[in-house]
Amino acid sequence: MPTLAKHTAEKNDPFEIHRKRLFDLRARLSGEMQNMADAALNQGRSESSSLPIHMADLGSDNFEQELTLTLVGSEKEVLNRIDFALERMRDGSYGKCEDCGKKIPETRLEAIPYTSVCVQCAELQEQNREEE
Ligand SMILES: [Zn+2]
């Protein structure tokens, strides 16, 4: 019996890998935020677990580096960006730069799957931030 093509065709999803990584990262960050909240309540209990997140199987060095840098910033913001990226996957705008509309290079998406801007626009945003 023929079935109508569903628009959630996972097989043809070009962003399946990124989606999985986003979900994975989101789960880790959510868990980590909870852990940190717990840790804040029980200060100094486990000194051996100083790593902010378990990174053993997260993939590329680039990704780990970015993630580490980002973790120093705001986990909450990253979570928001992950949700936003997943939202953009649903509406089909994922992979396009939010600012200039150009395609975000695959290598950048591999490094930061939750990014919504290209390298150039990200740098511009950084500069603007520094000028404030
Ligand atoms: Zn751009």
Separation of CA 125 and ligand 1 centre (Å) = 10
Q: Is residue 46 part of a domain?
A: no
Alpha helices in 42-105, H assignment, sequence order? 61-72, 75-91
| pLDDT tens track for 14-29 | 899 999 999 999 999 8
Query: Looking at residue 62, what is its pLDDT?
Result: 60
| pLDDT tens track for 27-80 | 998 888 778 778 777 765 555 555 555 544 444 556 655 555 545 557 888 899
Q: What is the domain extent for residue 106?
A: 16-37+59-131
Q: Is residue 10 part of a domain?
A: no
- Rounded Cα distance between 116 and 18, Å, is 13
* 52 and 71 Cβ atoms separated by less than 8 Å: yes
Separation of CA 6 and ligand 1 centre (Å) = 31
Separation of CA 110 and ligand 1 centre (Å) = 17
Tell me which of 12-21, 77-86, 112-121 is least confident: 12-21
CATH of the domain at 95: 1.20.120.910
Q: Is residue 45 part of a domain?
A: no
How many domains would you assign to the chain? 1
Q: Is residue 50 part of a domain?
A: no
* 101 and 66 Cβ atoms separated by less than 8 Å: no
Separation of CA 44 and ligand 1 centre (Å) = 43
Query: Looking at residue 56, what is its pLDDT?
Result: 47
Q: Is residue 33 part of a domain?
A: yes
Separation of CA 49 and ligand 1 centre (Å) = 38
Q: Is residue 84 part of a domain?
A: yes
Q: Is residue 77 part of a domain?
A: yes
Neighbours of 66 (CB within 10 A): 17
Separation of CA 97 and ligand 1 centre (Å) = 5
Separation of CA 15 and ligand 1 centre (Å) = 19
Mean pLDDT to the nearest integer, 85-110:
95
Q: Is residue 52 part of a domain?
A: no
**Both tokens of residue 49?**
């677990």
- Rounded Cα distance between 117 and 101, Å, is 8
